[in-house]
Structure 1
Amino acid sequence: AFITKTGAEITISQSLGAGNTPRAYRFARHAIVLSLLGGCLLAIGLLMGRHSLIGFFQLASEDIVADAEDYLFIVAFGVPSIFFNATYFGLYNGFGYSQTPFWANSAGLGLNMVLDPVLIRGWLWFPPLGVRGAALATVISQLIVSLIFLAIARNASSRFHHLLKGFRPNRHFAFRLLKLGVPVGLQNALFACIGMTIARLVARWGDLGVAVQTTGAQIEAICYMTAGGFASALGSYVGQNFAAGKFDRIREGYRKTLLLTSVAGAFATVLFVFWGDRLFGLFIPEPNAMREGGIYLRIMGYPQLFIVLEIMSTGALNGMGRTFAPAACSLALNAVRIPLALWFGAYALAGIWWALTISSFLKGTVITVLLLINLRRFTRR
């Protein structure tokens, strides 16, 4: 999904910055078609390979394995919608309109939050479906978001009214989208693989370690999801000004956006470091879980500002069309987590969290330096 989303954001914003609106719409059409093709291919891959994928984790409980395979089977049918929604989000961001996808995705998230307890626990005369209910809630919510986007597009005043009308595939437009989006998509796919490897190392410390990492990562998302939203907007802003040659505006936009998101990063650091155990206890109130969860959040709280730096600098570089360098650096420094986790994790579970923290410090520093080098290079031109 990141391939077409990122490619659409960059190509559309740069086309608009260059004053070529018809070209922007051609990129939008190709992005939608590619997203549907990619979503269908991944869905088929999940349906055919779910047994091998779950087997990678070497889970001991047959019930958990069966639940995980059922979850993937159901979610696979929602993958094309996930790809479609992410790409539509990129289309709106590329044109500089982020409110519509925000409300559409908020509606989907709200529906998911309602459907989860209803389908999982069997409320309102529904049978309790457990894990299958969670999967169904995800699929239904994503389908509803897709229908919202399509309903808006049917309006004659919509920017994407009859978007695919007269579509003719063009190798140049498809290649340009893939060239910009593949590094980001590959980075996220391999990041997921690295995350699965880390999860296996965490599993050596028992079920508590897995619960701490899973829940802690969701709490930690407060910061990086906020920064990610700003980074998408920044990428569109940078893309338009980059194509227009307005590098001073790029610097100013980056500086102001970084200042805003740094507030969120600083807040997350204080919250995680000083009140991490209490925060974790809101989700898992057991004493052992609160203690270990507090340790996780405290360690992961230290690099929050550097995580913000990484995300914002990556967004700016993507807007300039420089997607390969930040993706390569992020991938390389994420891969460092595995040997560090093997080394530190041999002594304590917290050692694995320190491996993640060290990697985050390095990524934030290196990618920000890359951005400053690129800004200086283009300013001199």
Structure 2
Amino acid sequence: MNKIDMTTGNERDILIKLSLPIIASNFIQTAFGMINMIWIGRAGSDAVSAIGTASFFINLATALSTLIIIGTGIRIAQSLGAGKEAEAEVYLKNSLILSVFISIVFSAIVGLLSRQLIGFFEMNNPYIEQMAVDYLLYSLIGMPFLFLTTTLTTVLTSYGNTKLTFQANTAGFVANIVLDPLLIFGFGIIPGFGVIGAAWATTLSRILTLAIMVIFGNKYIVASLKQKIDFKKMFEVCRISVPVTVQRVIFIFISIYMAKIIVQFGTEAIAVQKIGIQIESISYMTIGGIQGAIAAFVGQNYGAKHMGRINSGFNSALKLVTVFGIIISLLFILFPKPLFSIFIDEPDVIEMGVGYMQALGFSQLFMCIELLSVGAFNGMGKTYAPPIVSIIFSAARIPLAILLSGFIGLEGIWISISVTSIVKGILLTAWFKIISKREMRAAKAIA
């Protein structure tokens, strides 16, 4: 089975070669959400608020998918680094089974509780609440496709085949561009379906993405189907993933509670946060590409016991991430209004959005180095470290937001998010540097 050997050669060149297709794929995924938001924004801030509220539970599904993808990505990369390709195939098969099972269970539970979940936000607007319930229910239909595309993207990255993930996501993105306006607003005698149309456009696009991955990546999948179902390895994957999954699930619940604080300033404030998150995802998804590359790179080299390469590879990636983070920070701080105006044309919402962008602009560099460090920790299999820092300081946002918003209003909530991101980035990067140097000394002592 073809794979990229990351245990030899120039570290920076390997990381760039591996990360560029992932970054491109992630940009396509980001554009997915942005295209949705641009079209929904044309329907008004009520529709944006509805989707923004329902999206917390879509994000919860994405967080749960890490129960599969983190452990699977680590074990496949480490198995390949150790030359155990048959073992990697076992992990692949079992990850697909877990993806289908967990996604169906999640969809059933959230679907049954959808009205109560949306009601938690107390928006006091039945029209927006109903739109949010509708969007959530129709989005749940696509959950198995979300889980499977996410899992296969991680698997293909571990094998080094990031070109296919880019091609598949590009096709899905093009489909989404076409389907969004048609299904949201209609065309000619064909009626539009509003937020329900947006949900269907996303689901149909994901189906196309998954189909391309399966058709052109079948050599990986077919080989894995010959392997046995191994419940022990399923448990192992979940065990490795649990710290990250717990962290991300807790983060979603923190975000949900933060949204309840935000909605006190009006449903327009929820719309601001939803649009702001979409813009911020430019940096999140770009660094997510380097994060995926460093996780695979560290995983293979950790499996091959090449500790020196891990340290030098991380330093190379850190330089790239720092330059990018500074550029994004300057864009957010200097040009917030033009960026926000792309998504909505309501002056009050845009003005609130300027405060969001400028506050978050100061933390973009630190968010970028945080994500890089998380990828490096995951590649080593030390998934316990990032959740410790993330849970503590993400939870700190709640009391800090309540305190600051009492003094300076809505901007205080944005500042609480920015400050905690800065702290997380500094701590995680320093922690990984300490651990990697310790591992390198231990490897030299054994040698």
TM-score class, shorter: over 0.9
Whichever residue aligns with residue 370 of structure 2, its letter is E
Q: Aligned-pair distance for 1:125? A: 4.2
Q: How many matched pairs?
A: 377
Whichever residue aligns with residue 194 of structure 1, its letter is I
State whether residues 278 and 290 of structure 1, in contact with CA within 8 Å, keep that contact through their aligned partners in structure 2: no
Inter-partner Cα distance in structure 2 for 1:186 and 1:80? 21
What is the percent sequence identity of the aligned residues? 34
Structure 1 residue ranges without an equivalent (≥5): none
TM-score for both structures, normalised by structure 2: 0.81
State whether residues 278 and 294 of structure 1, in contact with CA within 8 Å, keep that contact through their aligned partners in structure 2: no
Map residues 7-46 of structure 1 onto 2, 5 A cutoff: 7-46=71-110
Whichever residue aligns with residue 290 of structure 2, its letter is F
Matched, 1:208 2:233: no
CA RMSD of aligned residues (A): 1.5
Inter-partner Cα distance in structure 2 for 1:56 and 1:286? 27
Q: Cα 1:186–1:108, aligned 2, differ >3 Å: closer, same or farther? A: farther
Q: Choose the corresponding residue for 1:147, options 171, 186, 211.
A: 211
- What's 1:359 paired with? 420
- What's 1:312 paired with? 372
Q: Aligned-pair distance for 1:124? A: 5.3
Whichever residue aligns with residue 278 of structure 1, its letter is P
- What's 1:190 paired with? 250
Q: Cα 1:168–1:161, aligned 2, differ >3 Å: closer, same or farther? A: closer
State whether residues 47 and 76 of structure 1, in contact with CA within 8 Å, keep that contact through their aligned partners in structure 2: yes
Whichever residue aligns with residue 122 of structure 1, its letter is G
After the TM superposition, list the runs of 4 or more consecutive aligned residues in structure 1 that deviate by more than 4 angstroms: none
- What's 2:338 paired with? 278
Q: Aligned-pair distance for 1:293? A: 1.4
Inter-partner Cα distance in structure 1 for 2:76 and 2:102? 20
State whether residues 277 and 291 of structure 1, in contact with CA within 8 Å, keep that contact through their aligned partners in structure 2: yes
- What's 1:371 paired with? 432
State whether residues 8 and 94 of structure 1, in contact with CA within 8 Å, keep that contact through their aligned partners in structure 2: no
Whichever residue aligns with residue 287 of structure 2, its letter is A
- What's 2:150 paired with? 86
State whether residues 180 and 198 of structure 2, in contact with CA within 8 Å, keep that contact through their aligned partners in structure 1: yes
Inter-partner Cα distance in structure 2 for 1:184 and 1:113? 33
Q: Choose the corresponding residue for 1:59, options 116, 119, 123.
A: 123
Inter-partner Cα distance in structure 2 for 1:126 and 1:184? 44
SS in 2 for 1:57: coil
Matched, 1:289 2:349: yes
Higher relative contact order (CA 8 A, sep 6+): 2
Matched, 1:95 2:159: yes
Whichever residue aligns with residue 351 of structure 2, its letter is R
Whichever residue aligns with residue 293 of structure 1, its letter is G
- Comparing 292-301 and 181-190, the one that deviates more: 181-190
- What's 1:217 paired with? 277
Matched, 1:176 2:236: yes
Q: Choose the corresponding residue for 1:257, options 287, 294, 317.
A: 317
Inter-partner Cα distance in structure 2 for 1:163 and 1:17? 18
Q: Deviations over 1:159-195 (max 9, x none)?
A: 3335323x42223211221012222222222211111
Q: Aligned-pair distance for 1:290? A: 2.9
Q: Aligned-pair distance for 1:228? A: 0.7
Matched, 1:333 2:393: yes
- What's 2:139 paired with? 75
Inter-partner Cα distance in structure 2 for 1:241 and 1:59? 50
Q: Deviations over 1:253-294 (max 9, x none)?
A: 112222222222111111011111222122223433333211
Inter-partner Cα distance in structure 2 for 1:243 and 1:95? 14
Q: Aligned-pair distance for 1:236? A: 0.4
- What's 2:221 paired with? 160
Whichever residue aligns with residue 57 of structure 1, its letter is F
Inter-partner Cα distance in structure 2 for 1:161 and 1:153? 9
State whether residues 241 and 249 of structure 1, in contact with CA within 8 Å, keep that contact through their aligned partners in structure 2: yes
Q: Deviations over 1:191-242 (max 9, x none)?
A: 1111111111111111332222111111111111100111011100100001
Q: Aligned-pair distance for 1:102? A: 1.8
State whether residues 226 and 261 of structure 1, in contact with CA within 8 Å, keep that contact through their aligned partners in structure 2: no
SS in 1 for 2:71: helix
State whether residues 194 and 335 of structure 1, in contact with CA within 8 Å, keep that contact through their aligned partners in structure 2: yes
Inter-partner Cα distance in structure 2 for 1:11 and 1:128? 45
Inter-partner Cα distance in structure 1 for 2:404 and 2:192? 42
Inter-partner Cα distance in structure 2 for 1:338 and 1:51? 25
Inter-partner Cα distance in structure 2 for 1:199 and 1:44? 24
Structure 2 residue ranges without an equivalent (≥5): 1-64, 443-447
Inter-partner Cα distance in structure 2 for 1:200 and 1:110? 35
Q: Aligned-pair distance for 1:2? A: 1.6
State whether residues 10 and 236 of structure 1, in contact with CA within 8 Å, keep that contact through their aligned partners in structure 2: yes
- Comparing 37-46 and 275-284, the one that deviates more: 275-284
Inter-partner Cα distance in structure 2 for 1:79 and 1:112? 17
State whether residues 67 and 242 of structure 2, in contact with CA within 8 Å, keep that contact through their aligned partners in structure 1: yes
TM-score for both structures, normalised by structure 1: 0.95
